[in-house]
Amino acid sequence: MHFKTSGTALYAMEALAGQIGSCRKCALALSRTKTVPGEGPAPCRVMLVGEGPGKKEDESGRPFVGRAGAILSDLLAQIDLSRDEVFITSVVKCRPPGNRTPGKEEIAACMPFLERQIAILSPVIVVPMGRVATSAIFSRYGIAFPSFREVRGKRFLMSENETGREMSVIPVYHPAVITHNPPARAALEEDFTRLGEILCTLI
């Protein structure tokens, strides 16, 4: 857990990380080593949301520290962003065994934490990475989700549930896609290039 600013948002995120650390709402708590609440500036301008922690994340308690994390850092650098400038988290905060896709009940149990993080951090842009994160966020905030193929790389608007504040949502491929499908690198880079273009108009 690494929050890089101070003030009300920092204290709220630290308190929330404590709640996440003691959570027993689903079976993922039984097999985790550490919870992975996320890290980055609080508040933040850009929030990246993955599916869930992997093995290295479960061991370290930090998001995106494995191979997908290295890919993500490279993609951010290509659009003139560093990890220090974005908040990185995931839909579920505990590793699903064997890195399987989290189940609906697990996502439902963890989504209030993500929703609270969004309320505290007040991002200008939320970037769900991959189908699972995109579907979960679209469902929670009432955005139609026909398919990931149809929404990736496009800008959508959502209202933060507590205050009604409007944010942009820009789905992209998950960086891990190229670890099992190397030809997808071009599409992944295209998504982040598009993200960079949209960022220039919003921030």
Alpha-carbon distances, residue 116 vs 113, 174, 196 (angstroms): 5, 23, 26
Report yes or no on whether pTM surpasses 0.75: yes
Q: What's residue 66's pLDDT?
A: 87
> pLDDT digits over 2-54, tens only?
555 558 999 999 999 999 999 999 999 999 999 999 999 999 999 999 999 99
Domains and CATH numbers, the chain: 2-202 (3.40.470.10)
Cis peptide before 102 (omega within 30 of 0): no
Q: What's residue 94's pLDDT?
A: 98
Mean pLDDT value across residues 82-95: 97
CB-based contact 86:72 (threshold 8 Å): no
Q: What's residue 203's pLDDT?
A: 73
> CA-CA distance, 98 to 94, in Å (whole number)?
12
> pLDDT digits over 155-168, tens only?
999 998 777 889 99
- Contacts for 128 with CB less than 8 Å, ≥ 6 apart: 49, 134, 136, 137, 138, 169, 171, 172
Q: Is the pLDDT of residue 79 over 70?
A: yes
Give the number of other CB atoms < 10 A from CB of residue 203. Answer: 10
Find the length of the chain. Answer: 203
CB-based contact 107:135 (threshold 8 Å): no
User: Which ranges of 22-153 does DSSP label H, i.e. alpha helix?
Assistant: 28-31, 55-60, 67-78, 104-121, 131-140, 148-151
Mean pLDDT value across residues 63-91: 95
